[in-house]
Amino acid sequence: MKIIVCVKRVPKTAEADLFIEKEGKDIKKDNLVFALNDWDGYAIREAVRIRENYGGEVFALTVGPEDSKEVLTRCLAMGADRALRIEEPPAFDALLIAKILARAIQDHPFDLILTGVQTEDDGWGQVGVALAQLLGIPHASIVNRIEIENGKAKVKRELEGGLEELLEVKLPALFTIQTGINEPKYVSLAAILEAEEKEMREIGLEELGLTSEEPLYAILDQVSFPAAGKMAEILKGTPEEVVTQLSEIIKKKKG
């Protein structure tokens, strides 16, 4: 089974102090901590699991700046066999990323492509699906279980309200992977240091026949904080006092 996994390096923002850049088109990132996109981690682990069961190779790809090499190292430490970083264009949208990935993949035969459902930063959820279309292969999104049988994949999709959809998809195919599909294994620092010895290549856009000024279909206009205001009311006091206030509010708002 030749498996390709597309990954992204994203900033962790849950509790960070966030500031908007002066051009208003992005948040300041130099004080943030970066890591492998959560969904992509599950995808890599799933790919390695499938390889352990059926043999083959796991090839990790990313489109990103120089710093993205660190997530590729992590993918190698997690069991990927080789990795490739493609230079990131100065401006991009989901379709462009899919186009770049498609170009990079077209020379590599594959049985399966895995991506994450979405990223933690932009959250578009589009790249995997668009990539499948550009490659002309079937896809399934929000996949939380994969079984391979005779050149076909039986996958479960996670729907709302606890429902699941079972699909049978002919390989080669692309699946976008949902979190919780497997139990992540710890990646030790020792494993990461060892992974730095494994094969990792880097290529520029020209090698794919692309320029750094490809046309965009979606252009980012502005990033801003939501207007703060009288949205939140802070209740102060001892626990007894607060509970009293809270029950009043609930009564007033009728449950």
Partner 1 sequence: MKIDPKTFTRDYNLHVCIQCGTCTGGCPVKFRSPLNMRRLVRQTYFAPDPSLFRRPEWWACTTCSTCTLRCPAGVKNVELILGVRNYLANQGEVPSTIRDALENTLLHGNPWGRFRDRRIDWAKDLEIKIIGEETAENLLFIGCAPSYDPRVQSLSIALFKIFQKAGLDFGILGKKESCCGNEIRRMGEQALFRKLSMDNTNLIKKTRVKRIITISPHCYNAFKNEYPDLDLPVHHYTQVLIELIEAGRIKLTGRSETLLTYQDPCFLGKQNGIFEEPRKILRSIPGVTLIEMERSRERSLCCEGGGGRMWTEGFTEGTRNAEIRVREALHLKAKILATSCPFCLLTLEDAVKTSGLADQMVVKDIGELVGEAIDSNSNNPIPCPPAGRLQIIINDPMTLFKTNYLVD
- Applying CB under 8 A, does 165 fall inside the site for partner 1? no
Measured CA distances, 218 to 150, 158, 197 (Å):
40, 28, 39
Distance CA 43, CA 46 (A): 5
- Least separation in angstroms between residue 75's CB and partner 1 is 14
Identify the burial level of 10 via C-beta atoms within 10 angstroms of its C-beta, where 0-12 means exposed, 13-18 middle and 19 or more buried.
buried
H or E segment to which residue 7 belongs: strand 2-7
- Applying CB under 8 A, does 186 fall inside the site for partner 1? yes
Are the CB atoms for 16 and 32 separated by under 8 Å?
yes
Q: What is the CA radius of gyration of the chain?
A: 22
Stretch 22-51 residues interacting with partner 1 (CB under 8 A)? 31, 33, 35
Beta-strand relationship, 112-116 and 2-7: parallel
Stretch 83-102 residues interacting with partner 1 (CB under 8 A)? none
Question: For partner 1, which is the closer residue by CB, 166 or 231?
Answer: 231
Q: Choose the stretch contacting partner 1; rule: CB under 8 A; options: 89-97, 110-118, 177-185, 209-217.
A: 177-185
- Least separation in angstroms between residue 17's CB and partner 1 is 5
- Applying CB under 8 A, does 228 fall inside the site for partner 1? yes
Q: How many CB atoms lie within 10 A of CB 121?
A: 18
In the list 221, 226, 251, 252, the residue contacting partner 1 (rule: CB under 8 A) is 226
Give the binding site for partner 1 (CB under 8 A). 12, 14-17, 31, 33, 35, 183-191, 193-194, 225-226, 228, 231-239, 242, 246, 249
